[in-house]
Structure 1
Amino acid sequence: MDGNEYGVRAALEAWAQAVRQADVDAVLALHSDDVVLFDVPPPMTITGTEGYLAQWRLFWDAQGEGLFDVSDLTVVAGDDVAFAHGLLRIGAAGTEGFQVRLTVGLRRDGERWLVTHEHHSVPAG
């Protein structure tokens, strides 16, 4: 694993930990101001940190602190941009939760990686 892949993986784990703890400041610190979110619940497209945070508040209001575990993560990282995809188990604490697909685009900002695009989806069917 090279340094760029390691940095992306570390940023995504920090993000997952921040979501599990409902730590608003830490979640936002890992995202660009112009982040675009394609989420499971409507609206289909959310742009910017204000809308992004509003969507997370709905999530935390529904479940509180809980499951937000990334698995099967694949990372492709260049020097300035990266993408990752994997599976995400979400749900309230003490439950099995449910699994969604996760795709994330990131860009380097100095020494840190920021999420610029986040996509959660459930299989159709």
Structure 2
Amino acid sequence: MKVDSVTEKAVKAVLDKFAESYARRDLKSAMSLIAPDDDVVIYGTGADEKRVGQEAIKTQFERDWAQIEDPGLEYNWISISAAGNVAWVAIDAVLKAKVDGQNLKFQSRITMVLEKRGDRWLIVQGHFSFPDQSQFFD
């Protein structure tokens, strides 16, 4: 469903804060965007990166930051839809990182579901993936 401008602006603010928090390695700020529910789920790009609940998600952020330097997340395209107090987002992004002194960029895809609670939008589900680079079509 088409999102109204107020909801779109509020959801984009959460997405921007998420990217900023991730780049700054600001765990408190990043976690403030995640719903405090036992069933909140974040899928990462790794085969073992299914995190359920805030503690598991916190551990994943810490693991990410231990493995890379200079993290960054740049959004290239964002689609936001909403119905009532639920919004869903699809994003084409670039994940930036320095690994072993080498600056890397990974094309990535992100989907999220957010729920409005009171006057705040919180992430209740997220999925991060890398497109399969072996599938190129003209």
TM-score by length of structure 1 reads 0.90
> Residue 79 in 1 paired to residue 87 in 2?
no
Amino acid at match of 1:91: K
Q: Which residue of 2 aligns with 1:122?
A: 130
Q: Which residue of 2 aligns with 1:65?
A: 70
Moved beyond 4 Å, runs of 4+: none
The answer to which structure, 1 or 2, has the higher relative contact order (CA under 8 A, 6+ apart) is 1
Q: Deviations over 1:61-90 (max 9, x none)?
A: 111332211220110123300000011211
Partner-residue secondary structure (3-state), 1:30: coil
Q: Which residue of 2 aligns with 1:50?
A: 55
Paired positions, count: 125
Q: Give, in angstroms, the shift of residue 96 of structure 1.
A: 4.3
Q: Percent identity?
A: 24
Partner-residue secondary structure (3-state), 2:124: strand
Q: Deviations over 1:33-82 (max 9, x none)?
A: 23201111132421001111111111111113322112201101233000
Structure label with greater radius of gyration: 2
| Aligned mate of 1:107, from 92, 110, 115 | 115
Calculate the aligned-residue CA RMSD, in Å.
Answer: 1.7
Aligned counterparts of 1:54 and 1:92: Cα–Cα separation in 2: 18
Aligned counterparts of 1:79 and 1:101: Cα–Cα separation in 2: 25
Q: Between 24-33 and 87-96, report the one with greater CA deviation.
A: 87-96
Q: Which residue of 1 aligns with 2:46?
A: 41
Q: Between 74-83 and 86-95, report the one with greater CA deviation.
A: 86-95
Is the CA contact 1:63–1:91 (under 8 Å) kept in the aligned structure 2? no
Is the CA contact 1:4–1:79 (under 8 Å) kept in the aligned structure 2? no
